[in-house]
Amino acid sequence: MMLDKVYEPQRFEPRWAQWWVEQGLFRASVEAPGPVFSLVIPPPNVTGSLHIGHMLEHTEIDVTVRWHRMRGYNTLWLPGTDHAGIATQMLVERALAEEGLDRRKLGREAFLERVWAWKERYGDTIKRQMIRLGASCDWSRERFTLDPGLSRAVRETFVRLYEKGLIYRGEYMVNWCPRCQTALSDLEVVHDETPGNLWYIRYPVIGMDRFLVVATTRPETMLGDTAVAVNPADERYRDLHGKRVLLPLMNREIPVIVDELARPDFATGVVKVTPFHDPNDFEAGRRHNLPKIQVIGETGAMTAEAGPYAGLDRFEARRRVVADLEQLGLLEKIEPYTVSLGKCQRCKTPVEPLVSIQWFVRTKPLAEPAIRVVEEGRIRFIPENWTKTYFEWMYNIRDWCISRQLWWGHRIPAFYCADCGHTTVARQDPQACASCGSPRLEQDPDVLDTWFSSALWPFSTLGWPDDTPDLRKFYPTSLLITGFDILFFWVARMIMMGLECVGDVPFREVYIHGLVRDAERQKMSKTRGNVIDPLEVTEKYGTDAVRMSLLLGAAPGTDIVLTEERMLSARAFANKIWNAARFLFLHMERCGVQPWLPPVNAPRRPEPAAPDGSAWLEDRWMFSRLNRVTDAANRAIARYRYHELAQLLWQFFWHEFCDWYVEIKKLRFRENSGLNADWRNLLTIFEAGLRLLHPAMPFITEELWQRLAANQSERPVSIALAPYPQYDAAGDDPEAERQMELVQEIVVAARNLRTTLQLDPRQTLDAVLYSPDLAADLAESHREIIERLAGIRLEIQREGRPTPGPAVRSTPEFDLLLRIPAAQSDAQRRRLEKEIQRLEKLVASSQAQLDNEEFLRRAPAEVVASLREKLADYKAQLAKNREALAALSQ
């Protein structure tokens, strides 16, 4: 039963982590009783390791999951990982590069073998980390987005959507990453404000002796211009409608078109049109049937169409184009201009918009029902303001480019006929063309955007498209906890796909957590070098402490600041619990008390333990407090107010249980008492406290609980399966709380006097309590407690009041006098003056309000009454303090 003197979580946390998994404690069952609570993990990237943001996410999930499990829900937390197409492929390619290889040299099959080997090697890291961090998930249901079952779901979805016309293939403007050499979706492009220039270029007008000056941020694309545009409303250029200009450098004649594309208020109001390399120009090109000329290729080098610039890198080409224009006198001016430069989310290479044949999801028809379910409240976002962000995006949603020119991922199940060109999209690899029967089929080489499979995650992991028991039982999932950064990438798409494929929402609530930041409120990133490694800090402070410090900062809608100091203080809290337990166990041994767990339905009120057959005040108080804290804790978790939960339990355990309750209980221990009512009360509180704390700090609570539970047969195998305490109105004891507060006030008054008078804390002092009523009664009946905690000998005076003086502390209920030989009056005078000032202010402001007739007429009666009461108190205290000060001045 004895605990080590120092709290060393490293000694027991890994053991319990392992044990939970081995025991299959968190395995869900479709047969299990109880209401269902299910949640799928936002699958981390398979090749990565977990960072502190994951730990926050997993802690919040785990708290909620453990809480539901303890409340008797049939609970599933399904874990797994994502193949993370581009991200993973990039890593492996980088490794290959170090060997002087590249994927093309290796070939598709060999390359994929390498990626799988990589996945096998690093894929377990995440699982190991999660287990170590105490995540209570069901490992028997672990999934990976490239698992055969999930791949089948992907294929099924693709085929269905294709058959419904919701997936199509076509030539459109896409974002192209010249380094990754693949198309990207709009979301995978990040925009950076970058200093650039606006180059003003003169285009000679055919048949006129003038120039049209065009401003552009990308002069190299002019090589692909097929028109220049002016606004129809722009009077300045009315005479140029229908004219042609000569494209400099290329010496090609191109038309002047009239289009809204040109904004009269921007630069010269004339814009060049490059349909192949700009999304707006692409649209304009369509409107005017302009030819498209590709001057920049897939690697970022200029194409043959770029004439003399062919083969140059696009940025080099820019320099040369500018220089050449300058030489020809066709460069009017250069202005500095900040551009929003699109970059590849993964490799940060500037993206090249270009026209390409790709696969797309038609999103509008999918978005409509997805908007509706949120409007109807069938899915709720917490915090609520994310709803608006969600709607904004959904209303303006654009088709989703889903094909990627990668090898790592789900291959697009489209087969092209070499003979008739027909496209066959099928659930099974076709042997012959669906149109002409030719066997000469070739599968599309591309794979799907990694988010395509993620979008199916809540149901593909449960066995869809089959109608499995898991799917029936656990879909829709109850809750999703994730970060705002993937609201569009993932959350929105899951909603669309869930509704489309399964016909129901994928989850009912979405809790969006904040970002973990460092002490300077900086985002954590590898390049900044301020990342906190979960395993490292876990090793250093203990998992429970790190979890606790994350939770303490996790107020909904705010970012989480995590610092060493925070983790340090959370560890101090864990240490406090540890020592409280050590103390209890020590005294249990001395008193001859065996490990004991209170019965499951422990009473809400304490057992009478006092000699007169009544219950001790401290027991009544503590049971009542426990009951209220229980209420608050349950409500906090239910509302995702994790910081409140953490703060609440911290306050309760440390500053109520340890600071007061245990201190008082020291009076009650008797040698060889055995398991008496005192012990049963104490252990009932402590054990319930452990259960309250378990979702937040699973390890220390399991460790301590198991010791209490030792050798007892009638009990759950783990605290994780024990019931979470529930509020019971019958457990409130407001009278005990009021009385205890008064006892505390007396003790604090004595301590306060002692310190302000700078008296030896070890010396027992004589004190007199003056009170006509309640305080005197309480002091009488709880003399022992007060004397012990305050270090005084107490005398009680029911009549009269002390001569005001430096050693008197006054409250509305009582006056307390410390008998001391000679008072240090200076300190006392300062204290009194300050107190008088404070009270005068309070009296003045309450008086003013009470003099306000409007207030008296319109404020609720009890507000007015309570203010009157307060004013009376303030006045009484003020009088006492003034007397004291006067006495001091004599």
Closer to RNA by Cβ: residue 166 or 394 = 394
Q: Which two tokens stand for residue 824?
A: 């240090």
Rounded CA-CA distance 822/819 in Å is 9
AA identity, residue 301: A
The span from the CA of 146 to the CA of 119, in Å, is: 11
What is the CA 545 to chain-centroid distance, rounded? 18
Nearest CA-CA partner of 768 in 750, 788, 789: 750
Binding positions for RNA, 763-822, rule CB under 7 A: none
Positive or negative: CA dihedral 285, 286, 287, 292: positive
Closer to RNA at the Cβ: 414 or 648? 648
Could you tell me the two tokens for 714? 């009638």
Question: Tokens 């864990």 appear where?
Answer: 574
217/357 Cα distance (integer angstroms): 26
Task: Output 594 or 764, the one with its CB closest to RNA.
Answer: 764
Q: Which is nearer to RNA, 186 or 399 (CB)?
A: 186
In angstroms, the CA 419 to CA 66 distance is 59
- 663 belongs to the binding site for RNA (CB under 7 A): yes
- In the complex, minimum distance from the CB of residue 212 to RNA, in angstroms, rounded to a whole number: 26
Binding window for RNA (CB under 7 A); candidates: 56-64, 137-145, 581-589, 593-601: 581-589
The nearest distance, CB 342 to RNA, in angstroms, is: 8
Q: What are phi and psi of 215, to 5 degrees?
A: -105, 135
Using CB under 7 A, which residues numbered 370 to 399 contact RNA? 385, 388-389, 392-393, 396
**Which C-beta is closer to RNA: that of 11 or that of 319?**
11
User: What is the nearest approach in angstroms of RNA to the Cβ of residue 584?
Assistant: 8
654 touches RNA by CB under 7 A: yes
Taken in order 309, 315, 318, 323, the sign of the CA dihedral is: negative
Residue with tokens 């006030």: 745
Q: Site for RNA (CB under 7 A): which residue of 855, 873, 875, 876?
A: 855
852 interacts with RNA by CB under 7 A: yes
Q: How far is the CB of 356 from RNA (least distance, A)?
A: 18
Stretch that binds RNA, among 68-76, 182-190, 267-275, 306-314 (CB under 7 A): 182-190
- Alpha-carbon gap, residue 385 to 387, rounded angstroms: 5
By CB under 7 A, residue 824 contacts RNA: no
The span of 172-180, 183-191, 241-249, 257-265 binding RNA (CB under 7 A) equals 183-191
Whether residue 383 is preceded by a cis peptide bond, meaning omega within 30 degrees of 0, is: yes
Q: Which of 22, 98, 99, 854 lies at the binding interface for RNA (CB under 7 A)?
A: 854
Shorter beta-carbon distance to RNA: residue 432 or 759: 759
Burial class (CB within 10 angstroms; exposed 0-12, middle 13-18, buried 19+) of 734: exposed
To RNA, the closest distance from the beta carbon of 275 in angstroms equals 18
End-to-end CA distance of the chain: 61
Q: Does 428 bind RNA (CB under 7 A)?
A: no
Which range touches RNA (CB under 7 A), out of 3-11, 408-416, 444-452, 457-465? 3-11
Nearer to RNA, 647 or 797 (CB): 647
What radius of gyration, in Å, describes the C-alpha atoms of the chain? 37
Quick one: which of 31, 729, 860, 861 contacts RNA (CB under 7 A)? Answer: 860
* Cα gap 643→556, rounded to integer Å: 8
The nearer residue to RNA, 225 or 544, going by C-beta atoms, is 544
Q: Does 68 bind RNA (CB under 7 A)?
A: no
Residue found under tokens 């290729």:
297
DSSP 678: H
Secondary structure in 3-state letters for 744-797: HHHHHHHHHHHHHCCCCCCCCEEEEEECCCHHHHHHHHCHHHHHHHHCEEEEEE
Stretch that binds RNA, among 4-12, 126-134, 705-713, 810-818 (CB under 7 A): 4-12
How far is the C-alpha of 171 from the C-alpha of 176, rounded, in Å? 13
659 binds RNA (CB under 7 A): yes
Residue number with CB closer to RNA (502 or 626): 626
Instruction: Note whether 519 binds RNA by CB under 7 A.
Output: yes
How many CA atoms within 13 Å lie on the side-chain side of 643?
A: 12
Which residue in the block uniquely carries the two structure tokens 């911290």? 650
How many residues in the shown chain lie near RNA by CB under 7 A? 70
Rounded CA gap, 65 and 344, in Å? 36
Question: How far is the C-alpha of 28 from the C-alpha of 140, rounded, in Å?
Answer: 9
Choice between 105 and 858, CB closer to RNA: 858
d(CA 751, CA 416): 87
Residue 302: strand, helix, or coil: strand
Q: Which of 658, 667, 796, 887 lies at the binding interface for RNA (CB under 7 A)?
A: 658
3-state SS, residue 478? strand
CA–CA dist 51, 56 (Å, integer):
9
**Shortest CB 735 distance to RNA, Å:** 14
Min. distance of Cβ 633 from RNA in angstroms? 12
Q: In the bound complex, what is the minimum distance in angstroms from residue 864's beta carbon to RNA?
A: 8
Q: 551 to 580, contacts with RNA by CB under 7 A? A: 553, 555-559, 561, 565-566, 569, 571-572, 574-576, 579-580
**Helix 642-650 and helix 543-553, axial crossing angle in degrees, nearest 10:** 120
Q: Under the criterion CB under 7 A, does residue 833 sit at the interface with RNA? A: no
Piece of 84-92, 318-326, 346-354, 746-754 that binds RNA (CB under 7 A): 746-754
3-state secondary structure 388-448: HHHHHHHHCCCCEECEECCCCCCECCEEEECCCCCEEECCCCCCCCCCCCCCCEEECCCEE
Q: Count of CB atoms within 10 A of residue 181's CB?
A: 14
Using CA atoms, how far apart are residues 578 and 584, in angstroms rounded to an integer? 10
Confirm or reject binding of residue 834 to RNA (CB under 7 A): yes
**Is position 521 an interface residue for RNA (rule: CB under 7 A)?**
yes
Q: Could you say which residues in the range 188-217 bind RNA, by CB under 7 A?
A: 190-191
Our CB check for RNA shows the closer of 92 and 636 to be 636
Phi-psi region of 84 (alpha: psi -120 to 50; beta: other; left: phi over 0): left
To RNA, the closest distance from the beta carbon of 836 in angstroms equals: 13
117 vs 638 by CB, closer to RNA: 638
Q: Tokens 């220039």 correspond to what residue? A: 197
For RNA, give the closer residue by CB, 327 or 758. 758
Nearer to RNA, 139 or 393 (CB): 393
**Rule CB under 7 A: which of 748-767 touch RNA?**
748, 751-752, 754-756, 758, 761-762
Chain positions 585 to 614 lying near RNA, rule: CB under 7 A, are 586
Query: 252 or 751, CB closer to RNA?
Result: 751
Residues 8-47 that bind RNA (CB under 7 A): 8
Alpha-carbon distances, residue 39 vs 369, 480, 837 (angstroms): 22, 6, 57
> 624 to 653, contacts with RNA by CB under 7 A?
639, 641, 643-644, 647, 650
What CA dihedral angle connects 568, 574, 579 and 584, to 10 degrees?
A: 170
Nearer to RNA, 156 or 813 (CB): 813
Binding mask 467-496 for RNA (x = CB under 7 A): ---------------------x--------
Minimum CB separation of residue 854 from RNA in Å reads 3
Shortest CB 889 distance to RNA, Å: 21
Name the residues that contact RNA, by CB under 7 A.
Answer: 5-8, 186-187, 190-191, 340, 385, 388-389, 392-393, 396, 488, 517, 519-521, 553, 555-559, 561, 565-566, 569, 571-572, 574-576, 579-580, 582-583, 586, 639, 641, 643-644, 647, 650, 654-655, 658-659, 662-663, 748, 751-752, 754-756, 758, 761-762, 834, 849, 852, 854-855, 858-860, 863
